[in-house]
Structure 1
Amino acid sequence: MGALYYDGEEFDFDDRTLAHLQLVVSTKLRRREDFFLTWSVPMERGSGRHSIWIDNGVPIRFYFSGSRTPSINREWIESLMLSASRASGLILGDEPTESRPAPAAG
């Protein structure tokens, strides 16, 4: 289990999800596009939902518990990028089934 550190808080994500988030967040921030990031909290962790404003002025750090970079699902990246461009922001959902494989990043 990895973590996203943002504005002094720690949010747990699995490494695969975190790798996809890192690509989308870094792309948006390089473009100077701030946005909301929203995700559901699983029932085993109390349920509910988080929504945070992602902006270049706040330090962000991604921690991966594994040493290998997960393969990247291009369809999921495209879906997340589209979501991040909407007024509601990036709403993190389940990974779609990929129809074309992509090599691991890195």
Structure 2
Amino acid sequence: MGTIQYGGVGDEIHIEDRALAHLKVVIATKLRRNESFTLSWKHHDEDTLGRSTIWLHPSIPLRFTFEEPEAPQLNVKWIEQLMQSASSTDGISLVDEVLETPAG
């Protein structure tokens, strides 16, 4: 389980390593372009029930921490879906991975 630490102080946002690796690509791309946006997620079972949203801005400190030492192979389709949501008025909503299915 990885974490996002946002704003230097405060609670850590716990996100599964594979999802966090994909989010990192999308978030870094948006912030590199000086774009602000929101990120929303559902709380994990061990946390209180509900969901949270944060406003991401290039001037606010951000740190990604991964439990796994090796980066996973990235799924381009999932990154594209997350990028689309990041550009929407709702911002990024952490959605399940889009699996590529063989043509048949």
TM-score, normalization: structure 2?
Answer: 0.90
Find the counterpart in structure 1 of residue 44 from structure 2: 42
Structure 2 SS opposite 1:98: coil
Aligned to 2:80, what secondary structure does the other structure show? helix
| Matched-pair contact (CA < 8 Å) for 1:5–1:60 | yes
Q: Is the 8 A contact 1:38 1:49 kept in 2?
A: yes
Q: Distance in 1 between matches of 2:45 and 2:5?
A: 22
Structure 1 segments unaligned to the other structure (5+ residues):
101-106
Paired letter, 2:28: S
Q: How much does 1:28 deviate?
A: 0.1
Identity over the aligned pairs, expressed in percent?
44
Structure 2 gaps of 5+ residues are none
RMSD: 1.3
**What is the aligned partner in structure 1 of residue 87 from structure 2?**
85
Deviation per CA, 1:27-75: give whole Å up to 9, x if none: 0001111000001113442220010000011000000111110110111
SS of 2:60 mapped into structure 1: coil
- AA of the residue aligned to 1:34: S
Work out the number of aligned pairs and report it. Answer: 100
